[in-house]
Chain A
Amino acid sequence: NAGVMQNPRHLVRRRGQEARLRCSPMKGHSHVYWYRQLPEEGLKFMVYLQKENIIDESGMPKERFSAEFPKEGPSILRIQQVVRGDSAAYFCASSPRQAPGNTIYFGEGSWLTVV
């Protein structure tokens, strides 16, 4: 059973460009989460999605950031007009519908560098 798959692992963007990060959850998992880790910090929750629905986006910046989890295909975290402060590791995680102990499994992260 493959784990949570994220791509790209590393992404370099110039200021003002768009960044798209993709996440395929573990097989059988219908819940996806995005977390951001700034340098030297812990992970911070951004958004929680189920198929075609955003359940909780309380951690998402109000502008330039969006997320989706379509009926078919991976979840996408989209950052428009990137700035240097967006440089961070973005982790995707997934859990099954009835997660025992609410265990959430993480991908290996996508590292965004804005130059």
Chain B
Amino acid sequence: AQTVTQSQPEMSVQEAETVTLSCTYDTSESDYYLFWYKQPPSRQMILVIRQEAYKQQNATENRFSVNFQKAAKSFSLKISDSQLGDAAMYFCASIRTPGSARQLTFGSGTQLTVLP
């Protein structure tokens, strides 16, 4: 079974500043994928970034990047140049390899507030 832990229920950041959201996970699988999803007030689940566990290079999507530490089972999200539209609940999630049951396991979320 996989577990995902987000230890920061709430975070805040000043507009234009950088913030890092933490996520740790536990899995017995050797190959898996990790994701960050964003849930704004509209409640839609929006994929922010994904990381293949077999890739050492950290994924980057514009202002969003991850720090993937496989040995430590850590997968943090860094948001640079924070914007008001980044305010949302952020969920870290994991999934096992293709061919197995495609269950996403979610953390409990981190509510990010962006201060003007």
A residues near B, CB below 8 A? Answer: 31, 33, 35, 41-45, 48, 55-56, 58-59, 89, 91, 93, 95, 98-99, 101-109, 111
Name the B residues within 8 Å of A31 (CB-CB): 102
Flag if B98 contacts A42 (CB, 8 Å).
Answer: no
Does the CB pair A103–B91 fall under 8 Å? no
Interface of B is mostly: loop
User: With A and B bound together, what is the CA distance between A91 and B95 in angstroms?
Assistant: 17
Stretch at the interface among B11-19, B41-49, B64-72, B75-83: B41-49
Tier of interface size on chain B: 20 to 34
- Please give the residue numbers on chain B whose beta carbons come within 8 Å of chain A beta carbons, in ascending order: 33, 35, 37, 42-47, 50, 52, 91, 95, 97-98, 101-109
A105 and chain B: residue at smallest CB distance: B47
Q: How far is the CB of B98 from chain A (nearest CB, A)?
A: 6
Q: What's the minimum C-beta distance from B111 to chain A, rounded to whole angstroms?
A: 10
**A89, B103: Cα distance in complex, Å:** 18
Contacting residue for A108 out of B37, B44, B52, B103, CB 8 A? B44
